Amino acid sequence: MIRHTVLFRFAETVSVEQRSAVLSELETFPGRYPGMLNWSMGENLSTRDATYSHGMSMDFATDEELLAYLHSESHEQFVRERWRPVIDHHVIVSYPYDPQASDSSATKEVTVTNQRPRGPYGMEYARIEVPDMQATIDFLQYHVGLQLEEHTEEYAYLRADIEHHAIELISAPEREDGWTVAVGYSVENEEILEQIRQRAIDAGHEILPLQERQQGLCDNGFALMDPDGLVVELFTEFQEYAEAPHVEIRPVDLVHPFLATPRYEEMLTFYMDVLGFIASDHIVGSATFLRCEDRYHHSLAIQKNDEHYVAHLCFAMKSLDHVMRMRAKALYKGAPIASDIVNHSASTSIAFYLHDTKFGPRFELCDSHRVFTPEEHETHRARKMPADPRNIDVWRPASDDWGRF
Ligand SMILES: [Fe+2]
């Protein structure tokens, strides 16, 4: 636990009204910052030292929680606009302490109720079985911008940025179409990995070993099967390269898979209650966007459907310009654009989708993706949006414009 204390005094010229406005705003802080525990503030009663007129103290479970508060936009704006103009001087001391060693049972209770279950950190890769390995590699290099790193007759790894790979291809000549068999998510540390493993065991899920090659590419991990049979691999310390590929126009991150499922409710329970994903937004009765600890608006989307398949994989490019350059390449080569430029309302991203069933799911190339602030990550209330095309693409003019998706 970190105790954060601030001693302060107002400038002499500051009116009583201004002082009470600032003190009243400070009193709203515990409600605004859920990571803030045991907040208190009062006037200095000391007769030995009256240097500061007021003191304020609060606790945070971790250093990160404290920094998230200090660096949040709302806090920085408060300091800049309302605090600095009226405060003559202040001192800050933050120190760690062990609440277990304290005899305050109230402190312990508050700490426990603020610990939410942690989920995976973020998406790292998808594993796709494809009938024509070379054609798929060519497609992913030219049209998605990935870099080939390792290639045997059996498998191939392609990467987007420094992470070891974003796509693993498995040669499956018996297949007619590409089929996504697994997705990989990194986890921040061993402790969270173990917590997820325990939740999965408690929920009656079978713990599977990681794919053998993947075992050599991370520290520790395990796999689970989701209700549709898609393998979800979870691991710590995914290996990475020292440098990103020296290719200017390429994706910088694999952001999410979009899963179509006939077991919508079951899938939500699995990904949220067991794995620890958090709902960011709902298209009521149709889709849910879920986020991980990397705070992308969604690192997973689940859509109610008649059948199960991985509908698309989303890659973020560096800019809209790069998305448009990739689109130009697709048009030039006659590559199938399954859904042309859309402006997603939920993730505030502009994207288009490429699809050739031989190579697996659609590939969404977007310009950026909304990342929640640490504060929003803890407090965002998932919106319930009606199933209206304008809630998927804000450039749709009317509620019945469902074509072209
Ligand atoms: Fe997407």
314 C-alpha to center of ligand 1: Å? 5
300 C-alpha to center of ligand 1: Å? 8
207 C-alpha to center of ligand 1: Å? 28
Distance of alpha carbon 110 from the chain centroid:
26
Q: Is residue 128 very low, low, confident or very high in pLDDT (cuts 50, 70, 90)?
A: very high
Q: Which pLDDT score is estimated for 108?
A: 42
256 C-alpha to center of ligand 1: Å? 7
- Per-residue tokens: 393: 């693409």
171 C-alpha to center of ligand 1: Å? 26
353 C-alpha to center of ligand 1: Å? 9
Q: Is residue 103 very low, low, confident or very high in pLDDT (cuts 50, 70, 90)?
A: low
299 C-alpha to center of ligand 1: Å? 9
93 C-alpha to center of ligand 1: Å? 44
319 C-alpha to center of ligand 1: Å? 16
The whole-angstrom separation of Cα 266 and Cα 272 is 10
- pTM of the complete model: 0.73
Q: Which pLDDT score is estimated for 102?
A: 58
Whether 96 contacts 138, CB under 8 Å: no
2-109: CATH number:
3.30.70.100
Q: Is residue 32 very low, low, confident or very high in pLDDT (cuts 50, 70, 90)?
A: confident
298 C-alpha to center of ligand 1: Å? 8
Alpha-carbon distance values, 41 to 25, 53, 241, 375 (Å): 12, 11, 48, 22
- Per-residue tokens: 381: 């209330």
60 C-alpha to center of ligand 1: Å? 35
312 C-alpha to center of ligand 1: Å? 7
Q: Which pLDDT score is estimated for 127?
A: 98
Indicate if the pLDDT at residue 274 is higher than 60: yes
- Compare 101 and 367 and report the one with higher pLDDT: 367
Summarize pLDDT for 41-85 with one digit per residue, the tens. Answer: 999 988 888 899 999 999 999 998 999 999 998 999 999 999 999
Residue range 191-215: mean pLDDT, rounded: 97
Whether 393 contacts 344, CB under 8 Å: yes
Whether 356 contacts 363, CB under 8 Å: no
Question: Which residues are placed with Cβ below 5 angstroms of ligand 1, an ion?
Answer: 258, 314, 364
Residues of the chain with CATH 3.10.180.10: 122-404
Q: Above pLDDT 90, what percent of the chain?
A: 89
313 C-alpha to center of ligand 1: Å? 7
351 C-alpha to center of ligand 1: Å? 8
Indicate if the pLDDT at residue 230 is higher than 70: yes
Indicate if the pLDDT at residue 192 is higher than 50: yes
Whether 193 contacts 185, CB under 8 Å: no
Distance of alpha carbon 123 from the chain centroid:
8
Residues of the chain with CATH 3.30.70.100: 2-109
308 C-alpha to center of ligand 1: Å? 16
270 C-alpha to center of ligand 1: Å? 20
Residue range 264-276: mean pLDDT, rounded: 98
- Fold topology of 122-404: 2,3-Dihydroxybiphenyl 1,2-Dioxygenase; domain 1 (3.10.180)
Helix (H, G, I), strand (E, B) or coil at 291: strand
1 C-alpha to center of ligand 1: Å? 38
Q: Above pLDDT 70, what percent of the chain?
A: 97
153 C-alpha to center of ligand 1: Å? 31
Residue range 277-281: mean pLDDT, rounded: 97
Q: Please report the DSSP string for 210-277 in residue order.
A: PPHHHHTTSSEEEEEE-TTS-EEEEEES--B-SS--S-SSSEEEEEEEEEEES-HHHHHIIIIIIT--
283 C-alpha to center of ligand 1: Å? 14
Nearest Cα residue to 358 out of 158, 172, 187, 215: 172
